[in-house]
Amino acid sequence: MLVEVGKIVEGKVSGITNFGAFVQLANGQTGLVHISEVADEYVKDIKAHLNENQIVKVKIISVDNNGKISLSIKKALDPKPVVKSSKPDEIDWNGTNNSNRNMTFEELISKFKKDSDEKLYDLKKNFESKRGGGGYRRSAQY
């Protein structure tokens, strides 16, 4: 069997270390699955995911000039389907769902200004309270 980058093959876990697992491939060669390539989630203890002599599917990620084979279990798994919405959010460009639809342009601007002023006041108040009152305080030490 030729080791080919991108190929998915089966192998047997021949050894487990704190940084990954060694997997013996069908042709007798051994590759390393780094701990970051074991699962999609964070892996703190590799022994919680793999056991010695376990048969696993691996994807061959790379083979360096010295013949070291890098493998991935998580890339060999079936890709999770990406769920996309069949259509974009409906936008009511005519304003028929808008609670402000009976307001004039001037009323809408006035409401917008009032809401903006209230939000700005709240932001300033929160900022000053975090700073310690907002006033300039001089240290007693010079």
Cα–chain center distance at 126: 31
Residues 67 and 107 in one domain: no
SS3 at position 70: strand
Whether 141 is covered by a domain: the verdict is no
Which strand (E) or helix (H) includes residue 120? helix 105-131
Using CA atoms, how far apart are residues 8 and 93, in angstroms rounded to an integer? 50
The domain that contains 26 carries what CATH number? 2.40.50.140
Whether 19 is covered by a domain: the verdict is yes
Phi and psi at residue 123, in whole multiples of 5°? Answer: -65, -45
Whether 90 is covered by a domain: the verdict is no
pLDDT at 15 over 90: yes
- List the one residue out of 5, 39, 9 whose CA is nearest residue 21: 39
Mean pLDDT across 23-30: 91
Phi and psi at residue 33, in whole multiples of 5°? Answer: -100, 110
Whether 139 is covered by a domain: the verdict is no
**pLDDT tens sequence across 114-127:** 999 988 888 888 77
- List the one residue out of 22, 40, 37, 31 whose CA is nearest residue 4: 31
Which parts of 77-134 are beta strand (E)?
Answer: none
What residue numbers bound the domain in which 127 lies? 103-131
Mean pLDDT across 87-102: 61
Mean pLDDT across 79-87: 61
